[in-house]
Amino acid sequence: MNDNALYLTQRLIDTCLREDMFGILSKAKFSRDAPKGVIVPQDEQVWLIFANSDFTLYLPVAPTYYMQHWRYGHANDETPPGWWVEKNGQVEHQQHYKEWIALLTTLAHESSHELLAGYLQELECAEQHKALCDQAFHHHADHISQPISELGSWHQKLLLADQIASYLDHPYYPTARAKFGLSDEDLAKYAPEFAQSFALHWIAIEKSLVTLTSGQPDCWPTMEQVGLPADFALSHVLFPAHPLTLRSLEALPEGVIEAPLTYLDVTPTLSVRTVVVNEAPHIHIKVPLIMRSLGTKNIRLIKPSTLYDGHWFERLLSHLEQTDADLNSRLFHCNEKHGGHIGEDKTFAYIVREYPLTHCEDKALVPVAALASPMPDDRLFLEHLAEHYYQQDTLAWFQDYVDLLFQVHLTLWLRYGIALESNQQNAIIAFDQQGRMTLAMKDNDAARVWPERFRFATDHAAEKHGAKTIPVDCDELLDQRIKVDNELALGQMFTTITLQLDIAAIVESMAAKGIASSASLYAIVAKSIAEQLNRLEGEGLETKLARELLQEAPDLYAKYLLSSGSLLSKEASGASDINKFYGLSAPNFLLLSNEEAQRAYLEAIKKSVR
């Protein structure tokens, strides 16, 4: 069994324990007694024992404070040797994800059987793609090792950071390495790990079918440049298309023609479906891609409403940066006003994202996804950044990083009733030449707004700054899921995205590298949150729920993406949005901000086992 299969099995089982998949945790008991006839070296080994009418599972587990109470493995962090299953008096040893999926299928409702079979294919894809991406990492080692601060242009720095980010797996979704739907050859041509340029394809669409949100950019081709008659411009509009998407379509709908020539060389970004125009690198184009990632239900097409909702948030956040002293100079937003679509069709749409040169030209833009990436010299990329921009003071960088994130996101939550889905891919840190950081924002089409608080805040701002200063209204939002009727939804998104994905995942990577203890880093995080909450409360804002969720509750919300995105039917999960399905089950690491508290917590879990 190869290392990649073991790696994926570990991630899969840990996620199943975190999300209590099919009751694997809640219906189990814990014991120190090993399965009959099994000899293990550790006397202190704890076993999760799950029994049903078909089998009894004995899974070696260890207590943890990070994202879940129990993880698959040994307390001494050795690679777990597998688990044991007792059937009809016989004990069988297992250790492969295929065997784990077979166990889950026995437990699952019939409605999940097909989903589990599909997820097994995703695991196999992840194993293959991880091997290829590991090869790409070694092949590109010299390229990604060049100091980012010494690159000549901001767009080279951003592409390098995206490539570095692509080699690191998602912190929580076990098979994020799978770009499901892409072959090995596709991966080499179109994935950021390989950093190869390619030419965009184009389709000409009858004007009567098309909606454009604004004028198309200067880099757009003419009809003749893509091999079509010039007079087509009178009746048709050109849309960019990813070559993989066109290849996957059996036929084009009436009124849509594929242009015979390609045009515009582009390079893939971290998201794969968003590409950089090589000759105009401040222009990024997001196109539909027949690829599934972060779950077999997460196909990477473009919902037309996102063109409008994303631009809504762009206008709002740009306005708040100008008018709110706590946000001023802390962020800037990409221009996302232009896009095109055909009705509600998700396969024929695009969004143009323009990076503002006034904010970018003298900066290094780095997605949060790149920070904890391991580099060829065995350091984390964040250590390279601290070396270039923080005089090698990694802890000073970390302090400023968490302060920036909390100042922006807690202000948006508590003052305006806004929570952004600023995941590791969307959250970009812009370093200037002096090392000061700001947030570069983009792709905010899946945020959450609590209209009650938003309208109170904007009415107050209108009174303070004069009428009609707020450029948007909640009623303009198209995706009704964006609007929530309570504050908890904001707290859940802040916790699972900003706190866990953007900060806790970085903490654990830094601790694993020995940069600092996780307890000392969480102490920095907890102190920063407290300071921001005190500041906002001092300005008259309500902080009660935020304090309850972050400073008092023993458990934090966690996102259950494997459940909702892959293994449970929509009827079973009840999730209206597969990316917003939560469970209150992650230990609150903010309450464990010293090593004594962490040890006491882990000992208490162990002592609960008889």
pLDDT tens for each residue of 217-273: 999 999 999 999 999 999 999 999 999 999 989 899 999 999 999 999 999 999 999
Percent helix, percent strand, percent coil in the chain, to nearest 5: 45, 20, 40
The two structure tokens encoding residue 96: 């492969």
**DSSP 8-state symbol, 369:** H
- Confidence band of 351 (pLDDT split at 50, 70, 90): very high
Tell me which of 323 and 76 has the higher pLDDT: 323
233, 202 in Cβ contact below 8 A? Answer: no
Closest CA to 179 of 267, 295, 286, 9: 295
- 500: CB partners within 8 A, 6+ apart: 67, 171, 172, 556, 558, 559, 586
CA distance 505 to 507: 5
Site of tokens 């762009």: 314
CA distance 409 to 359: 20
pLDDT tens for each residue of 150-208: 998 999 999 999 999 999 999 999 999 998 888 999 999 999 999 999 999 999 999 99
- Confidence band of 42 (pLDDT split at 50, 70, 90): low
Residues forming a β-bridge with 69:
none
Instruction: For the chain, give the percent of residues with pLDDT over 90.
Output: 84
CA distance 572 to 110: 11
Collapse the DSSP code of 31 into the 3-class scheme (helix H, G, I; strand E, B; otherwise coil) and give the result. Answer: strand
Ramachandran area for residue 443 (φ above 0: left; ψ -120 to 50: alpha; else beta): left
SS3 track for 2-23: CHHHHHHHHHHHHHHHHHCHHH
Q: What is the Cα 241 distance to its own chain's centre?
A: 24
- Confidence band of 36 (pLDDT split at 50, 70, 90): confident
SS3 track for 63-117: ECCCCCCEEECCCCCCCCCCEEEEECCEEEEECCHHHHHHHHHHHCCHHHHHHHH
CA distance 457 to 163: 40
- 73: CB partners within 8 A, 6+ apart: 10, 60, 61, 62, 79, 80
pTM above threshold 0.85: yes
The two structure tokens encoding residue 587: 């230990």
pLDDT at 578 over 80: no
pLDDT tens for each residue of 545-557: 999 999 999 999 9
266, 275 in Cβ contact below 8 A? Answer: yes
Instruction: For the chain, give the percent of residues with pLDDT over 70.
Output: 95
pLDDT at 282 over 90: yes
The Cα-based distances of 606 to 30, 47, 61, 97 in angstroms read 10, 11, 10, 27
pLDDT at 467 over 50: no
Q: How many CA atoms lie within 13 A of 217 on its CB side?
A: 25
Closest CA to 192 of 164, 154, 229: 164
The amino acid at 543: T
Closest CA to 306 of 284, 339, 273: 339
CA distance 473 to 173: 35
pLDDT tens for each residue of 180-192: 888 999 999 999 9
Give me the domains of the chain, ranges plus CATH numbers: 3-107 (no CATH), 362-607 (1.10.510.40)
- Confidence band of 579 (pLDDT split at 50, 70, 90): low
CA distance 112 to 170: 24
Least confident range from 253-257, 456-460, 569-573: namely: 569-573
The pLDDT score that the predictor gives to residue 297 is: 60
DSSP 113-175: HHHHHHHHHHHHHHHHHHHHHHHHHHHTHHHHHS-GGGSSSHHHHHHHHHHHHHTSPPSS-TT
pLDDT at 587 over 60: yes
pLDDT tens for each residue of 387-398: 999 999 999 999
598, 65 in Cβ contact below 8 A? Answer: yes
Closest CA to 306 of 341, 335, 356: 341
DSSP 277-304: ETTSTTEEEE---S-B-SSTT-B----T
- 27: CB partners within 8 A, 6+ apart: 50
pLDDT at 532 over 50: yes
Torsional sign, CA 596, 597, 602, 604: positive
Phi, psi of 440 (to 5 degrees): -95, 120
The pLDDT score that the predictor gives to residue 79 is: 78
Query: 261-297 b/e with 16+ CB inside 10 Å = b?
Result: ebbbebbbbbbbbbbbbbeebbbbbbbbbbbbbbbbb
pLDDT tens for each residue of 92-110: 999 999 999 999 999 988 8
Closest CA to 376 of 572, 146, 97: 146
- Confidence band of 460 (pLDDT split at 50, 70, 90): confident
The two structure tokens encoding residue 163: 């490539």
pLDDT tens for each residue of 496-513: 999 999 999 999 999 999
